[in-house]
Structure formats: C-alpha cells, structure tokens
Chain A
C-alpha cells in the first residue's frame, strides 16, 4: 500500500490530561475553567469539547505535567464544577502533532491503525487549521514517532520538532 505523505511531526513536552464530564451543558464550564486557569497563568496545550452528546458533555484539556497539582486544586474548589460533574486526571501524557493534513483526514485513520497495531494508546485527538494532534502516553511518544515514520512518507531531514523550552506567562509585557 502506498504510504501517505506528511510534512512533519511535532512533539510536546510532558503533560497531564484532565477530562471533565457531566450531564448539563458544558459551555459555561468551559468558559469558567479556561478563565480560571488563565488567571493562574496555567497554559492549555490541548483542548477539546463534546457539547452535543445526548448522554453527557465532556471537556478535555492538557496542561504541563508540573501544573497538575495546581490545576487539580483549582478544579476541586467549591463552585468550579457543578454538582454531578466528574473530573478524571491522566498524568504523563504527550501530544504528537502531524502536519499538514491538507484536509486529507485519512491520515487520522492511518495513524489509528498504525498505533493500534503497536498497542500505542490514543487518549484524544483534535484537528486544527493545518494539523492533527494526538494525545498518548508520554513514555511511548518516541515509539509513536517511530511508528509514524515507518508508516508515512516524510521529507528528508525532517526529524520531529521537539520543544526546547516551555512558555510561561509573564507578569509584565514589554511594548514596542
């Protein structure tokens, strides 16, 4: 079978995934939680919402692994999550981003098959303007890259982009 072409891969640093689930609408909760995290200078590396399910509403996001305690504490504070909402926390995950998808979402299916064949879990996925991002175990992220490199055609000299620093929000902003 002919290999699909992709332009590149990008890895995240180590993250923690929070899944928030409940029966009532998630719109206000998404707004409340993202504002709360922003006010504590916690960056969100990944965000998906499932607001239209008939069974339950789900809101998933990832933050830096070193923010897991702060984030849990904020979410567990009284009044943040409505009654009946549950919070699951999956530590030590990473994101692998494949780009560009050029609206050819058979890439998603091909990666699902390739990862499943190698028992690599997928905890979440989202698409953006040009990329598809997958959440998996951080300890398996190198293996997941190898599987994709074996399964897809990448340009020469395109090693996966690996972050060399972590961004934090500053208290002060310099103007031009």
Chain B
C-alpha cells in the first residue's frame, strides 16, 4: 500500500540520492529529489515534504543555509529535517567550518558514510511509520 508521506532527498551526489530514494521507495514512501539547496527550495514550494534528508556541503546553497531558511520560515518550520554530515572530513574552505548537525536547527543528523538502515529507521520514527 502506498505511503502518503513525501520525503525530499537533497544531495549533490546523484548516486547517493538514488540509493536513498530506492530504499525509501521500497518502504513505500513518495520521494522527491533535489541536487542542491536552490533546487530543494523550489521543490519544497512545489509540494511540501513531510521530511527532508539534507546534505550539508552542496554548491549554490548549502544545507545549513537551507535548513536555517526553512526553520525560520513559519510556513515550513515544522518540516522535519535530517542533516547528512561528513563529520570526519577536513575542509579547506573557510565558507564551511565544521559544525555538528545538532548545533543547527535541524531535527537530527546522521554522519557520512551513511548507514542506510539507520537512516530509514530515523525516517520511520519521525514519520510515525513502523
């Protein structure tokens, strides 16, 4: 039976988007896909998702920026956001300083490399699926 919950998966790695989407679809979620923060913002306005799986480091608009915009917008602030963070990575750009997902306004985070089963359990928990 089709699950009516819509999950938006946002990452600039198309293979990761596809892998997460396949796993979610196998759990009967509806899935939207976006490859950067700007496209994700457009998708949110097109159809409001129940939960967003959001990568942090993306070109054009990063995950922190989008997360903050959504959580500060009364219309979208109750959308659950799970951040994908590369906890162990050192980056050379000052634009991206390391932050733990929990220090943002996101509802939760999961570290890359992703344990897909753990991510799906997290999504199930937030959406009330079992």
Q: Assuming A157-B42, A165-B91, is B18 touching A129 (CB within 8 A)?
A: yes
Is B19 an interface residue when CB atoms closer than 8 A count as contact? yes
Which residues B25-76 have CB closer than 8 A to chain A?
A: 33, 35-36, 38-39, 42, 57-60
Contacting residues of chain B (80-124) with chain A, CB-CB under 8 angstroms: 86-93, 95-96, 100, 111
B39 and A158 contact, CB distance less than 8 A: yes
Q: How many residues of B contact A (CB 8 A)?
A: 28
Minimum distance in angstroms from A163 CB to a CB of chain B: 7
Given known contacts A130-B15, A173-B88, A176-B111, A162 and B42 CB-to-CB distance under 8 angstroms: no
Residue contacts A-B, CB under 8 angstroms, 16 given: A8-B14, A10-B12, A10-B35, A129-B19, A130-B18, A157-B38, A158-B39, A161-B58, A161-B60, A164-B59, A164-B93, A165-B57, A167-B89, A170-B90, A174-B87, A174-B100
The 8 closest A-B pairs by CB, nearest first: A130-B18, A99-B14, A173-B88, A170-B90, A165-B93, A129-B15, A131-B14, A130-B14
User: Which B residues have a C-beta under 8 Å from some C-beta of A?
Assistant: 12, 14-15, 17-19, 33, 35-36, 38-39, 42, 57-60, 86-93, 95-96, 100, 111
